[in-house]
Amino acid sequence: AHARTHTRTRTPTPTPTQPSLQRETSTASVSFFDPTGTSATDSMSSDLVTESTNDLDDDMLDALDEAKPISSETGRALLQELDAKQPEPPPAAASDGKGERAPEGYISRAEYAQVAGSSYELLVAACDLAHVRCAKLLGVRTRDVSFTKLRIGEIVQLSRQVEEFIAVTEKITGRQSHRNLRASLMTQCKKVVERFHEEHRSQLSMLLDGERWQQAEVPFELQSLISQLETAENLKQAGVRPPSPSQPSRAHGKVSKSHLMVRGEQFAVAGAPLFLLKMVSEYCQCVNDMPVLVSDILNRLLDLLRLFNKRTGSLVLGAEARRSTGLKTITAKHLALASRCLDAVLSYLPLARVHFQTFLPLRQRVLLTEFDPVFQDYRTHRSEILNKLVSMMEDTIARQLLKWEAKAPIPSASFQGISKQTCKLHEALAPILSPDQLELVFNNVQLSFRTHFLDRIKRLAITPGGPQHGLVSAELNFLAEHLNSLEGLPDLGETLMDVWHHS
């Protein structure tokens, strides 16, 4: 009688042994009662239906009409109140179990079971209706501009409240809740994650476009986070949110460092890659907060990593940084720093991969293989940068040897020029590259020199033991001494004299 005419009512299907209560007629389900017991049950069931639907309409439907959300405390109180209104069983003496009529003022056990069943169906219908109305209310709210600007933390708080509400209704009814509310919440969570990702893509692109590829200091907070992740099972256990590298780097008396330490290795890095590492840890925190969206968050993290790799290649190897930042040229130092930035990301990513693995169900862990092509792209890019460094020095060697003649004075201007450029290259690369990479680059530089030098002496018809043999040997000894003096490359010049054996 108190229900609104526009309210959609879920009418339970009656069974032969359990008639259902109808919202439209509160006494319909008790018509089988004997006249002597009808008065008592009429009042009980009518009050249950009236008060239940009245409470539901006033608290839930008015909120939907006026787009005012109900607090989780109000929702829980309403459901618990409905649950408490289920009738108590009659005294054991109310029926002898043989179908005889109960004493006046009581109902039989069979009649009680039918009333309790109908009341339970009413309670389930009320919970289902509450879920449908909350889902619609959430849909109404999502059309509000302010709702579309929710941050990750805010949508997480909303998700927890909704899940708590769902858990309460499932506990009361003993049934799985209506899917509409979870589906509506999931849709909104995906929208927030997508906006979170787009903001990070935009920010990273902007940072890369303004990057001048100079070594940056590493904030203590970021280094502390990475160090904890190396020994923690995942980001949640570490319990640290990464700070912004642009913020002051002092914390509890700690200062920033010149190099980033990841898994026992030092990396010289620029500013933009530091932000990328911070963003990766934020994606890990995001999957902590919304584990149900782990596959979506993983795909977006991989997209962010591909963006960094592709854009870095365009800016450094493609020299677009000259236009975006005004750099006059891309130097060997810029190339080396970009290479080490790729190395730092490659060293850090396995930590993120293990973190996501803890949230992925076994059947979805095949998604982790998507990291493999990303790793390979980074390694390929790094190799291209190192080859570019060798190529730059190879051009210098070719130009110098093109004008070289085997004649006094010794050392010639060409060999002095090669020695000088080799030392400058070592000076630029040694503080940035790892020892293995430094050795790889200079070994390739030496091979390049041998190739071009052999070609030159063949063109000049110089042979071992000939009249110019002494001059050539002196030139090679001069260059070998300088190469052996380079720090970290003690034996680089030892094989230069073998050039005669290949002439």
Transcribe 121-182 into DSSP letters. HHHHHHHHHHHHHHHHHHHHHHTSTTGGG--HHHHHHHHHHHHHHHHHHHHHHSSPPPHHHH
Q: Coil, strand or helix: which one is 266?
A: strand
Q: ∠ CA(47), CA(50), CA(56), 5° rounding? A: 130
Q: What percent of the chain has pLDDT over 70?
A: 72
The answer on pLDDT for 126 being more than 80 is: yes
Which residue, among 23, 16, 29, 17, has the nearest Cα to 2 in the 3D structure? 23
Query: Residue 323, Cα to own-chain centre: how many angstroms?
Result: 31
The answer on pLDDT for 332 being more than 60 is: yes
Between the two ends of the chain, the Cα-to-Cα distance in Å is: 108
Q: Across-strand partners of 267?
A: 260
pLDDT in tens, 421-466: 999 999 999 999 999 999 999 999 999 999 999 999 989 888 887 8
Please identify which residue in the block is written with the tokens 């008065």: 39
Q: Which of 63-72, 87-96, 295-304, 338-347 has the lowest mean pLDDT?
A: 63-72
Q: Across-strand partners of 265?
A: 262
pLDDT for 91 equals 54
Highest mean pLDDT among 165-169, 293-297, 498-502: 293-297
Q: Report whether 279 contacts 152 (CB < 8 A).
A: no
Structure tokens at 357: 């693995």
The answer on pLDDT for 469 being more than 60 is: yes
Omega prior to 87 cis, within 30 of 0: no
Q: Report whether 381 contacts 309 (CB < 8 A).
A: yes
Q: Report whether 463 contacts 499 (CB < 8 A).
A: no
pTM: 0.71
pLDDT for 45 equals 40
pLDDT for 102 equals 61
Q: Report whether 94 contacts 106 (CB < 8 A).
A: yes
What is the average pLDDT across 243-259?
A: 57
Q: What percent of the chain has pLDDT over 90?
A: 42
Q: Report whether 386 contacts 437 (CB < 8 A).
A: yes
pLDDT higher for 186 or 297?
A: 297
Q: What is the dihedral of CA 294, 297, 298, 300, to 10 degrees?
A: 160
- pLDDT confidence band for 235 (50 / 70 / 90): very low
pLDDT for 80 equals 60
The answer on pLDDT for 250 being more than 70 is: no
Q: Coil, strand or helix: which one is 380?
A: helix
Question: Could you give the count of Cα atoms lying within 13 Å of 487 in the half-sphere of its Cβ?
Answer: 9
pLDDT in tens, 12-40: 444 444 333 333 333 333 333 344 443 44
Long-range contact pairs involving 311-314 (C-beta distance under 8 Å, separation at least 24): 311/204, 311/205, 311/208, 311/209, 312/208, 312/338, 312/341, 312/342, 312/381, 313/381, 313/384
pLDDT higher for 317 or 242?
A: 317
What is the average pLDDT across 493-500?
A: 74
SS (H, E, C) 357-368: HCCCCHHHHHHH
What is the average pLDDT across 185-213?
A: 92
The answer on pLDDT for 214 being more than 80 is: yes
pLDDT higher for 124 or 6?
A: 124
CB atoms within 10 A of CB 10: 15
